[in-house]
A and B are shown apart, each in its own frame.
Chain A
Amino acid sequence: MIDFHHVTKRFGDELALDDVSIHVSQGELVVLLGASGTGKSTFLKLISFEERPTTGEVVVGSWRSSTARAAQVQRLRRRLGIIYQDFKLLPDRTVFENVALPLRVAGAASSELHRRVEAALERVGLARHGAKRLSQISGGQQQRVAVARALVHRPDVVLADEPTGNLDPDMSQAMMELFRQLRSEGTAVVLATYDLSLIQPGDRVVRLERARLVEGA
């Protein structure tokens, strides 16, 4: 599903990732551990082709970072569900409209869009909040809106950058359960976090240390 082949990423003189190789299969949950600034976000951005490797290649499904052009990048991103650290929600829209965006981009019919958005909101415990504006809900609820938006179009890959950062411990565990459920449904999940308490036996754990990837907690 996801393959990093000797990927190195530099930002000027700064080395973000150094000769990283990893394979993530369909239906696998990978927890990416690392302190702040160790390159976790860069790793996720390389999967969504927001960044391209300086050397090496990233392959996601049939898309290759070395050859993918604009239209292919668009198609790839429609198959990803991304939860950003800063949520990247649209503040002037309702919860429902935010969650519906990936389906609108994919051109879903109105009835299907409504059904799927309601199901996604139900899944993250925000079933009755669809009509609210983002300013009317808490930071934790906004994070769950971001999770719902990442799931609503049934992506092949879910990328989550600190997805529990604004959630209380109970809700954090609930979200992790949701990600494990996605794994069992065949979705590949890559989750970047610094929180060791989220890991459970059976999760694949990799660490980023000095720009290099190390297997295991």
Chain B
Amino acid sequence: MSGAYVVAEAWRGLRRARGVAVASGVSLFAAWVVLAGTADALWNGWRFVRFANARKEVVVLMKESLGAEADSVLGARLRGLQEVAGAEYVSRDSAWAQLSRDLNADPDLLQSVGSNPLPPSYRLSLRPDFSTAAEIERLAQTIRQYPEVGDVVYGGEWLGRLETWLGRFTLVGVSFGGAVALGVVVLVMLVIRLAILARRDVLRVLYLLGAGAWFIRLPFLVEGLILTAVTSALALAAVEGASRLAATRWGGWSHLPLPLDAAFVGLALLLGLLGSLVGSWRVGRVEGS
């Protein structure tokens, strides 16, 4: 069976049931926009969290009694960690000077402290691919085990909370997406069933000419694939347009990268194929046998 014939049959089927094709196309487009929009929002949320986490500083506070040699040994070990992009040594004096600058408005407070109580420290910057709250906490726990280390501190608890909430939203988004995907499968299935009903006369002739199940089914499968491919691609284009608009307002906003776009269309095709398969399940039955 030639591929051109199958595609031509599928196209003929869509044209024959134009009204159904347009109505289902609009519904599918709306479903894909919701899915792609949700994916876009979550993608940008996670990008923001990673971006913020990557700029978060981890401070390794050292024990008081260490000498210069121990300091540099610790520095080398910290720089050797795969999560660490850079480690800047801050001596006790530098830390005191920084505190003095920060509390300039209240010198009495510094005088009341007396001698410099601050330990030397290392300020770590992280590699961008190690930047979730869980990863930073794991890193902190590792460093705390080192004998030279007194404590490890890092700020940004709010980012941890944001990450938790984003994780929950992602879960909700995935569940919602699953429901929409199921709706898409049902919709495609119904469209294909209607197409089969509309082409009963053609199918009857094909049965009588000895057409096999796949000869009859394939055009319906391609019909489902055409519908989902076109509508998902249009929806992605619309969401990308909206993303570009959003980017003019929020500089960091961006659309899904191309591989995710491709995966989205691939998923749409898979759902279309599934719906078409279910919708045309009984169509291969040979009449009169």
Per the bound structure, the CA–CA distance linking A91 and B126 in Å amounts to 70
Mark interface residues in A77-109 (1 if CB within 8 Å of B CB, else 0).
Answer: 111101010001110100000000110111100
Q: Which residues of A contact B5 (CB under 8 A)?
A: 104
Within 8 A of B (CB), among A57-92: 68-71, 73-80, 82, 84, 88-90, 92
Q: Which residues of A contact B207 (CB under 8 A)?
A: 77
Closest to B202 in A: A90
Closest to B201 in A: A90
Per the bound structure, the CA–CA distance linking A104 and B205 in Å amounts to 13
B287 at the interface (CB under 8 A from A): yes
Q: Are B206 and A101 in contact (CB under 8 A)?
A: yes
B288 at the interface (CB under 8 A from A): yes
Per the bound structure, the CA–CA distance linking A73 and B288 in Å amounts to 9
Per the bound structure, the CA–CA distance linking A105 and B215 in Å amounts to 7
In the assembled complex, how far is the CB of residue A155 from the closest CB belonging to chain B, in whole angstroms?
Answer: 10
Instruction: Given the known inter-chain contacts A74-B211, A92-B16, please indicate yes or no for A105 contacting B206, CB distance below 8 A.
Output: yes
Per the bound structure, the CA–CA distance linking A37 and B124 in Å amounts to 96
A-B pair count, CB < 8 Å, reads 64
In the assembled complex, how far is the CB of residue B37 from the closest CB belonging to chain A, in whole angstroms?
Answer: 39
Q: Which residues of A contact B205 (CB under 8 A)?
A: 88-90, 101
Q: Are B286 and A102 in contact (CB under 8 A)?
A: no
In the assembled complex, how far is the CB of residue A102 from the closest CB belonging to chain B, in whole angstroms?
Answer: 5
Q: Which residues of A contact B289 (CB under 8 A)?
A: 49, 68-70, 73
| Chain B residues with a Cβ closer than 8 Å to the other chain, count | 23
A138 at the interface (CB under 8 A from B): no
Mark interface residues in A155-188 (1 if CB within 8 Å of B CB, else 0).
Answer: 0000000000000000000000000000000000
| Chain A residues with a Cβ closer than 8 Å to the other chain, count | 31
Per the bound structure, the CA–CA distance linking A102 and B202 in Å amounts to 13
In the assembled complex, how far is the CB of residue A48 from the closest CB belonging to chain B, in whole angstroms?
Answer: 7
| Residue among A45, A79, A106 with most chain B CB within 10 A | A106
- Which of B12, B211, B286 sits near A105, CB closer than 8 Å? B211
Per the bound structure, the CA–CA distance linking A71 and B211 in Å amounts to 10
B204 at the interface (CB under 8 A from A): yes
Q: Which residues of A contact B209 (CB under 8 A)?
A: 77-78, 101-102, 105
Per the bound structure, the CA–CA distance linking A69 and B207 in Å amounts to 14
Per the bound structure, the CA–CA distance linking A102 and B207 in Å amounts to 11
Per the bound structure, the CA–CA distance linking A191 and B282 in Å amounts to 33
Closest to A113 in B: B2
Q: Which residues of B contact A82 (CB under 8 A)?
A: 208
Mark interface residues in B46-64 (1 if CB within 8 Å of A CB, else 0).
Answer: 0000000000000000000
Q: With A70-B286, A110-B2 given, can you name 14 additional A-B contacts, CB distance below 8 Å?
A: A49-B288, A68-B289, A69-B289, A70-B213, A73-B286, A73-B288, A78-B209, A79-B210, A80-B210, A82-B208, A84-B208, A89-B205, A104-B1, A104-B215
14 contacts between A and B (CB under 8 A): A50-B287, A73-B210, A73-B289, A74-B211, A75-B210, A80-B210, A84-B208, A88-B205, A90-B201, A90-B205, A92-B12, A101-B206, A104-B1, A105-B211
Q: Which residues of A contact B (CB under 8 A)?
A: 45, 48-52, 68-71, 73-80, 82, 84, 88-90, 92, 101-102, 104-107, 110
